[in-house]
Structure 1
């Protein structure tokens, strides 16, 4: 069984005119949200994306609290947790919209037969690649 990588990083939030500015010192990145809950969600997303980049580049993830920071400049200091394996699975299984074109008559016939275009395309691409859909 693969070990799940769960981490919690400190995030710093400062109230702005239109929400919250968020810094994640250990990754030297920032994001924002319209309220505290959204700011935490955006921080988790930023940490997840950076964490996956670090893993893909075979770089060690920074340790939480590896960077000193001055919390006096911020209104909120909290921790945001992330499970990088779960985040990666979610990201890799995210649906993306593809636009394709088929002849009108073929579309009409397929719709009358109740063909699910998305499912058919997924199955065809998986077959062409020799992979199975999860």
Structure 2
């Protein structure tokens, strides 16, 4: 499956008094919200990236976006195009840190702590050497 660098989908922004702005992306059947227009748009962009990245990773078909003019809205709703630049999303996911529990002899842990060893950096360097990845 070819991965696009940029996707653009229509989103529906719903305004209700005293509530956050609800944002739905009808073509993907997902929703988010934001405190104001800027926050709602950023939330929609982040959600769009996460959903599309997941579809890419799972090898699922990515639905074609609807035309903005074809999205119907209620009186308290507005449409906008939301875009996402996928290389940034993919990069963020590929360098995402994960936690691992490591068991060490107590004496080695104490010595490392005494010398201010950064356990994360040390483990990463050792794994790169072991796996011959640089």
Give TM-score scaled by structure 2 length: 0.76
Structure 2 stretches lacking a partner, 5+ long: none
Structure 2: distance between partners of 1:124 and 1:35: 46
| Residue of structure 2 in register with 1:79 after alignment | 81
Structure 1: distance between partners of 2:66 and 2:132: 41
| Residue of structure 1 in register with 2:42 after alignment | 41
Q: How many pairs align?
A: 131
Structure 1: distance between partners of 2:76 and 2:50: 24
Change (3 A) 1:79 1:53: same
Q: 1:23, CA displacement in angstroms?
A: 0.4
Change (3 A) 1:73 1:51: farther
Structure 1 stretches lacking a partner, 5+ long: none
Structure 1: distance between partners of 2:127 and 2:19: 44
Q: 1:19, CA displacement in angstroms?
A: 1.1
- Across the aligned residues of Structure 1 and Structure 2, the Cα RMSD in angstroms comes to 2.8
- Residues 12 and 74 in structure 1, CA contact (< 8 A), matched pair in contact too: no
Matched, 1:12 2:12: yes
Change (3 A) 1:107 1:55: same
Change (3 A) 1:4 1:63: closer
The worse-fitting range, judged by mean Cα deviation, of 11-20 and 62-71 is: 62-71
Q: 1:57, CA displacement in angstroms?
A: 3.3
Report the 3-state secondary structure (helix = DSSP H, G, I; strand = E; otherwise coil) of the residue aligned with 1:95: coil
Report the 3-state secondary structure (helix = DSSP H, G, I; strand = E; otherwise coil) of the residue aligned with 1:71: coil
